[in-house]
């Protein structure tokens, strides 16, 4: 039986990264992710639901939304199920966090930076994003220099993380990702001696310490996750079966067409040869027979041998 919660499940993810009591986890993760770029000492959690600017506008609900002590906005998302337009969704979420900073009246358009971090338990269907971590910023196409630091999107595709043992993890960021992928299979929380934050994580993620209500919420999310997985596997299997059936149908049709074409060509060739023999017996020259039957002259000459 598992000892720890699975952080890839919605309820568990928000328990670890989205509450005041556990913000130490979020801070250490973000500092590891943006090492030498951001030094976050504290975060203030903001409302995760952002309404539209007008009554008919679509609202958004973030998994985790906070503002750092330096005023930088950070969105952290966990996406378990593959979505066709997830990259667009991440861009949309980032844009909404930027637009929400606008104020009525006189305003100089000064914006606070928005960082969107996307955990994905799947691989994006993109030929240029086939690596674990991808950082997106606004840059000039020719010089490749950044033109603004107000928007940053980070994709973390968990299946592409290639460190499979504790010994391979070189820093706290590696440790976090290793735990995110495997926490529900641990008997003991790794890296706890080196990084105290993981002792905190072991405490808040211990299934034995959850209340009955918390367990029910977690189990419901686990059930939903399993249903999603089962549905995905069924769709994949059905898609393969349909693809194979269609392939066989096309293959049979092509085979029949090819066979008919070969048969017709063979029949026409036999008919030309028979015609050539009749014309030769009538006394026509080799050249005349070749012209009429469209057979090579050499072949006509061999018929007379």
- Given this model, what pLDDT does residue 162 score? 95
- Given this model, what pLDDT does residue 45 score? 94
Q: How confident is residue 255, by pLDDT bands cut at 50, 70 and 90? A: low
* Rounded CA separation 130/124 (Å): 8
Say whether 50 sits in a helix, a strand or coil: strand
Q: What is the CA radius of gyration of the chain?
A: 33
Q: Is residue 51 pLDDT above 60, yes or no?
A: no
Q: Which two tokens stand for residue 243?
A: 């693809």
User: What is the rounded average pLDDT for all residues in the chain?
Assistant: 87
> Starting at the edge strand that comes first in sequence, how are the strands of the sheet with 114-120 ordered?
43-45, 64-68, 73-79, 114-120, 146-157, 133-139
Report yes or no: 44 and 20 within 8 Å, Cβ to Cβ. no
Q: How confident is residue 1, by pLDDT bands cut at 50, 70 and 90? A: low
Ranges 65-69, 79-83, 267-271: which has the least confidence: 267-271
- Given this model, what pLDDT does residue 106 score? 82
pTM of the model: 0.73
**All residues at 6 or more sequence positions from 115 whose CB lies less than 8 Å from its CB, including other chains:** 34, 72, 73, 74, 75, 152, 153, 154
- Given this model, what pLDDT does residue 238 score? 79
Q: Which two tokens stand for residue 166?
A: 């504790």
From the list 96, 77, 88, 71, the residue with the least C-alpha distance to 7 is 77
Contacts for 193-198: CB closer than 8 Å, 24+ residues apart: 195/28, 197/24, 197/25, 197/28, 197/172
Q: Which residues pair with 143 in a beta bridge?
A: none
* Rounded CA separation 230/222 (Å): 12
96-150, pLDDT tens digit by residue? 999 988 887 788 889 999 999 999 999 998 888 889 999 999 999 999 999 999 9
Q: How confident is residue 297, by pLDDT bands cut at 50, 70 and 90? A: confident
Q: Is residue 294 pLDDT above 90, yes or no?
A: no
- Given this model, what pLDDT does residue 57 score? 58
Q: How confident is residue 287, by pLDDT bands cut at 50, 70 and 90? A: confident
Q: Which residues pair with 156 in a beta bridge?
A: 119, 133
Question: How much of the chain, in percent, has pLDDT values that exceed 90?
Answer: 57
Residue 31 burial (CB count, 10 A): 17
> What average pLDDT does this structure show over 186-204?
96
Contacts for 300-303: CB closer than 8 Å, 24+ residues apart: 300/276, 303/273, 303/276, 303/277
Say whether 49 sits in a helix, a strand or coil: strand
Q: Is residue 53 pLDDT above 70, yes or no?
A: no
> What average pLDDT does this structure show over 168-175?
97
Q: Which of 8-22, 237-251, 284-298 has the highest mean pLDDT?
A: 8-22
- Given this model, what pLDDT does residue 58 score? 65
Q: Which residues of 247-280 are buried (b: 16+ CB within 10 A; e: fewer)?
A: eeeeeeeeeeeeeeeeeeeeeeeeebeeebeebb
From the list 99, 77, 73, the residue with the least C-alpha distance to 90 is 77
> What average pLDDT does this structure show over 61-90?
93
Q: What are the phi and psi torsion angles at 164 (to 5°)?
A: -110, 0
Q: Which of 56-65, 77-86, 185-194, 246-255 has the highest mean pLDDT?
A: 185-194
């Amino acid at each position: 039986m598992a000892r720890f919660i699975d952080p890839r499940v919605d309820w568990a993810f928000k328990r670890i990264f989205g509450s005041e009591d556990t913000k130490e986890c979020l801070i250490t993760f973000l500092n590891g992710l943006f090492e030498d770029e951001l030094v976050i000492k504290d975060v203030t959690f903001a409302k995760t639901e952002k309404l539209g600017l007008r009554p008919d506008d679509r609202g958004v609900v973030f998994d985790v939304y906070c503002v750092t002590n330096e005023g930088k906005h950070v969105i952290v998302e966990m996406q378990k199920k593959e979505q066709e337009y997830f990259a667009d969704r991440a861009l949309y979420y980032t844009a909404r966090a930027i637009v929400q900073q606008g104020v009525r009246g006189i305003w100089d358009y000064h914006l606070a930076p928005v960082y969107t971090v996307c955990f994905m338990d799947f691989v994006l269907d993109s030929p240029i994003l086939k690596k674990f971590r991808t950082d997106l910023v606004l840059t000039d196409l020719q010089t490749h220099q950044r033109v603004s630091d107000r928007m940053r999107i980070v994709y973390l595709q968990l299946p592409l993380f290639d460190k499979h043992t504790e010994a391979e993890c070189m820093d706290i960021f590696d440790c976090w990702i290793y735990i995110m992928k495997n926490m529900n299979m641990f008997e003991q929380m790794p890296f706890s001696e080196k990084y105290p934050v993981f002792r905190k994580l072991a405490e808040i993620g211990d299934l034995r310490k959850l209340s009955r209500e918390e367990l029910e919420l977690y189990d419901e999310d686990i059930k939903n996750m399993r249903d999603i997985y089962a549905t995905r596997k069924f769709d994949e299997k059905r898609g393969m079966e349909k693809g194979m059936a269609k392939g066989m149908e096309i293959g049979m049709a092509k085979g029949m067409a090819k066979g008919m074409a070969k048969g017709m060509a063979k029949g026409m060739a036999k008919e030309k040869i028979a015609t050539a023999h009749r014309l030769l017996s009538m006394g026509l020259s080799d050249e005349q027979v070749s012209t009429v039957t469209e057979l090579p002259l050499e072949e006509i000459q061999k018929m007379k041998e």
